[in-house]
Amino acid sequence: MLSRLYDFMPGLSALIGYERKWLADDVRAALSVAAVALPVAIAYAQLTGVNPAVGLYSCVLPMMVYALFGTSKQLIVGPDAATCAVIASVVTPLAAGDSYKHWHLVIIMTAMTGFWCVVASRFKLGVLADFLSKPILMGLLNGVAITIIVGQFSKVFGFTFDERYLVERLLGIPTYLSQTHTPTLLMALFTALSYFAIKRLKPAWPASMIAITIGAILVWYFHLEQLEIKTIGIVDGGLPYFHVPDFDIGVVRELVIPALNLAIVSFVSMMLTARSFAAKNSYDIDADKEFMALGVANLASALSQGFAVSGADSRTAVNDANGGKTQLVSIIAAAIIAVVAIFLTAPLEFIPKAALGVVLIIASTHLIDLKAVWKLRLKDKHAFHLTLATLLSVLFIGVIPGITLAVLLGLFQFIQTVMRPTDHILGVDAKGIVRSLDLSGKAKAVDGIFIYRFNSPLTYFNASYFKRRLLEQYARQKDDIQCVIIDAVPCFTHFDLSVMAMLSDLNTIFRKRGVRLELAGRKRQLFAWFEKAEIKSGSEGIFIHSDLYLALRINQSKNQPPPEQT
363 and 292 in a single domain? The answer is: yes
> CB of 330 within 8 A of CB of 67?
yes
Q: What's the Cα-to-Cα distance from 558 to each of 405, 431, 516, rounded to whole Å?
A: 55, 21, 12
Q: What's the Cα-to-Cα distance from 448 to each of 445, 470, 500, 516, 559, rounded to whole Å?
A: 9, 16, 26, 11, 8
Give me the number of domains the chain comprises: 2
Asked whether residue 6 is domain-assigned, the answer is no
Q: Is 541 exposed, middle or buried (0-12, 13-18, 19+ CB in 10 A)?
A: middle
CATH code for the domain in which residue 494 is found: 3.30.750.24
Helical H segments across 344-437, by residue range: 353-365, 370-379, 381-397, 399-419
437 and 401 in a single domain? The answer is: no
Q: Is 179 exposed, middle or buried (0-12, 13-18, 19+ CB in 10 A)?
A: exposed
Total Cβ atoms within 10 A of residue 203:
8
407 and 428 in a single domain? The answer is: no
Structure confidence at residue 115 (pLDDT) = 96
Q: What's the Cα-to-Cα distance from 320 to each of 281, 393, 446, 463, rounded to whole Å?
A: 9, 34, 57, 49
65 and 136 in a single domain? The answer is: yes
Asked whether residue 330 is domain-assigned, the answer is yes
- Coil, strand or helix at 432: coil
342 and 457 in a single domain? The answer is: no
What's 461's DSSP letter? Answer: T
Structure confidence at residue 519 (pLDDT) = 97
Structure confidence at residue 2 (pLDDT) = 66
- State the DSSP H helix or E strand holding residue 197, giving kind and residue range, or none if neither: helix 182-201
Asked whether residue 11 is domain-assigned, the answer is no
Asked whether residue 28 is domain-assigned, the answer is no
Q: What's the Cα-to-Cα distance from 373 to each of 264, 367, 405, rounded to whole Å?
A: 22, 12, 18
260 and 129 in a single domain? The answer is: yes
Structure confidence at residue 561 (pLDDT) = 54
Asked whether residue 350 is domain-assigned, the answer is yes
Structure confidence at residue 81 (pLDDT) = 87
How does pLDDT run along the chain (566 residues), one tens digit per residue?
667 887 889 888 888 888 989 999 999 999 999 999 999 999 999 999 999 999 999 999 999 999 999 999 999 999 988 899 999 999 999 998 898 899 999 999 999 999 999 999 999 888 777 666 778 888 888 998 899 899 999 999 999 888 878 888 999 988 999 999 999 999 999 999 999 999 999 988 889 999 999 999 999 999 998 999 999 888 888 888 777 777 678 888 999 999 998 998 899 889 988 988 888 888 989 999 999 999 999 999 999 999 999 998 889 988 998 899 999 999 999 999 999 999 989 999 999 999 999 998 998 888 898 998 998 888 888 889 888 988 999 899 887 788 778 778 777 877 888 888 999 999 999 888 999 998 888 899 999 999 999 999 999 999 999 999 999 999 998 878 999 999 999 999 999 999 999 999 999 999 999 999 999 999 999 999 999 999 999 888 999 999 999 999 998 887 655 444 43
Structure confidence at residue 566 (pLDDT) = 35
**Backbone φ, ψ for residue 78 (5° rounding):** 165, -175
Asked whether residue 29 is domain-assigned, the answer is no
Report the DSSP pairing between strands 423-429 and 449-454.
antiparallel
430 and 402 in a single domain? The answer is: no
Q: What's the Cα-to-Cα distance from 430 to each of 220, 434, 478, rounded to whole Å?
A: 84, 10, 21
- State the DSSP H helix or E strand holding residue 428, giving kind and residue range, or none if neither: strand 423-429
> CB of 320 within 8 A of CB of 25?
no
Q: Considering 365, 390, 415, which residue would you say is the last residue of a domain?
A: 415
Asked whether residue 83 is domain-assigned, the answer is yes
Q: Considering 415, 436, 464, which residue would you say is the last residue of a domain?
A: 415
- Coil, strand or helix at 278: helix
Asked whether residue 353 is domain-assigned, the answer is yes
The size of the chain, in residues, is 566
Domain that residue 508 falls in: 423-558
152 and 277 in a single domain? The answer is: yes
428 and 411 in a single domain? The answer is: no
515 and 533 in a single domain? The answer is: yes
Q: Considering 398, 415, 432, which residue would you say is the last residue of a domain?
A: 415
400 and 470 in a single domain? The answer is: no
Q: Using CA atoms, how far apart are residues 80 and 311, in angstroms rounded to an integer?
A: 7
150 and 271 in a single domain? The answer is: yes
Instruction: Output helix, strand, coil percentages for the chain, rounded to the nearest 5.
Output: 65, 5, 25
Closest CA to 338 of 296, 291, 289, 300: 300
Structure confidence at residue 565 (pLDDT) = 41
